[in-house]
């Protein structure tokens, strides 16, 4: 871990938040004051985040979360990096901590049985087991577990409709997995609601499986929601399953299309990357909104004028909200 003085934290917690807007503001201020960056969602059903910071700052952040009785059981997936994985901090209030069409389900009441990585590894190849990837196309096309069933969906909201095709598997053991575990909480609960009898979920998701089980039989890379775009998981029998979006050659080089109006994340090989100047198609290459290409396929968002306290309010003596003024 030489020179890796930063942590990247991935976490979620289903817990009731009575006043999510007030907690959002408090949470935002704590992140700014402790140089935590990333994306955090606060909702009445809990919190969900991916953040980065210096190791000591991330330790303060984890302690801050755990000190709140509502979130004391939050489990963090901790990775090491050589810099911030985000340019800004965004703490947003939303109706759900993962966008779905399953708001009526509470994983704290009923959800699939949690499997630790070692147990998932031991069970996944049994004859009566079905491994189900609950992630979207752009994620599982980059990497997935060997023999896993994938669903043709662009976002998690489509999950209830897509599993109608799996009715014939209701007598099987269903092992669900996703990046960090959060989607499986609702996905496995919905499977149970629909009559699937024996439903499990990989606790901590692909990320924890890579850390504790060396990622064995996970094929390809894992898409992540930070500036890295994709990470290696498998230390035992790694392989590449994704193909270049342009030419079809084998490639796991994840690229953000240089055309900012397109902006899709797809695998593009080195050769096509340079030929199309970072664009995903000839049309995007000619688009006037195309950004300069430096060979990485990653584009840092413009932070000119960025104020980390933007959107934060505190009550003045009058009781009315007053925007925090802070020098940029």
Distance between CA atoms of residues 206 and 184, nearest Å: 11
Q: Is the alpha carbon torsion for 79, 80, 85, 89 positive or negative? A: positive
Pick the catalytic residue from 31, 178, 184, 280.
178
Triad 303, 76, 74: Cα angle to 5°: 115
Of 4, 51, 5, 10, the residue nearest 210 (C-alpha): 10
Q: Is residue 54 within 8 Å of 35, Cβ to Cβ?
A: yes
Triad 162, 201, 65: Cα angle to 5°: 115
Distance between CA atoms of residues 57 and 160, nearest Å: 39
- Is 247 among the catalytic positions? no
Q: What b-and-e string marks burial along 169-203, b requiring 16 or more CB atoms within 10 Å of the CB?
A: eeebbbbbbbbbbbbbbbbbbbbbeeebebbbbbb
Tell me the residue length of the chain.
328
Q: Is residue 212 within 8 Å of 224, Cβ to Cβ?
A: no
- Active-site residue numbers? 178
């Amino acid at each position: 871990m030489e020179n890796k003085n930063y942590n990247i934290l991935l976490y979620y917690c289903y817990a009731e938040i009575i006043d999510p807007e007030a907690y959002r503001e408090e949470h935002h201020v704590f992140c700014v004051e402790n140089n935590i960056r990333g994306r955090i969602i606060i909702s009445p059903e809990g919190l969900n985040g991916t953040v980065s910071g210096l190791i000591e700052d991330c330790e303060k952040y984890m302690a801050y979360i755990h000190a709140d009785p509502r979130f004391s059981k939050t489990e963090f997936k901790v990775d090491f990096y050589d810099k911030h994985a985000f340019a800004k901090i965004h703490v947003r209030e939303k109706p759900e901590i993962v966008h779905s069409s399953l708001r009526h389900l509470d994983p704290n009441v009923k959800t699939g049985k949690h499997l630790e990585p070692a147990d998932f590894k031991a069970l996944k190849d049994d004859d009566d087991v079905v491994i189900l990837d609950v992630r979207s196309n752009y994620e599982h096309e980059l990497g997935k577990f060997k023999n896993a069933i994938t669903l043709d969906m662009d976002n998690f909201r489509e999950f209830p409709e897509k599993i109608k095709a799996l009715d014939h598997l209701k007598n099987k053991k269903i092992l669900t997995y996703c990046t960090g575990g959060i989607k499986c909480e609702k996905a496995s609960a919905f499977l149970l609601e629909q009559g699937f009898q024996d439903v499990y979920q990989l606790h901590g998701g692909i990320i924890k499986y890579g850390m504790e089980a060396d990622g064995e039989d996970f094929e390809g890379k894992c898409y992540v929601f930070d500036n890295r775009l994709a990470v290696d998981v498998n230390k035992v029998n790694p392989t590449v399953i994704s193909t270049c979006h342009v030419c079809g050659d084998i490639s796991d080089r994840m690229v953000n299309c240089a055309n900012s109006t397109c902006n899709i994340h797809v695998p593009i090989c080195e050769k096509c990357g340079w030929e199309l100047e970072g664009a995903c198609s000839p049309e995007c290459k000619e688009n006037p909104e195309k950004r300069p290409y430096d060979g990485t396929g990653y584009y840092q968002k413009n932070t000119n004028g960025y104020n980390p306290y933007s959107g934060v309010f505190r009550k003045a003596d009058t009781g009315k909200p007053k925007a925090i003024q802070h020098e940029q």
